[in-house]
Amino acid sequence: MTVLLSGAHLPYPHTNGFHAGGERLVLTRYSPATGALGLTSVRWRDGEPAARNLYEAEPGATGPEQLLWPDVALAAERVAWVRDDAVHVLDLDSRAAPERLYAAAPGHTLQNLCSLTAAGDRVVVMEQPEDRDAPVTCLEISVSTGRADELFTKDWFANHPAHSPYDES
pLDDT in tens, 59-112: 665 554 567 899 999 999 999 999 889 999 999 998 889 999 999 999 999 999
For 8-154, the fitting CATH number among 2.130.10.10, 2.120.10.70, 3.40.50.880, 2.60.40.680 is 2.130.10.10
Give the pLDDT confidence score for residue 48 in this predicted structure. 63
Nearest alpha-carbon partner for 57 in 35, 72, 73: 35
Question: DSSP of 10-47, one letter per residue?
Answer: PPPTTS--EETTTTEEEEEEE-TTT--EEEEEEE-SSS
- Its pTM stands at 0.89
Distance CA 93, CA 156 (A): 39
> What proportions of the chain, in percent to the nearest 5, are helix, strand and coil?
0, 45, 55
Amino acid letter for position 130: E
**What is the tens place of the pLDDT at every residue in 32-48?**
667 678 898 988 877 66
**What is the tens place of the pLDDT at every residue in 25-36?**
999 888 766 767
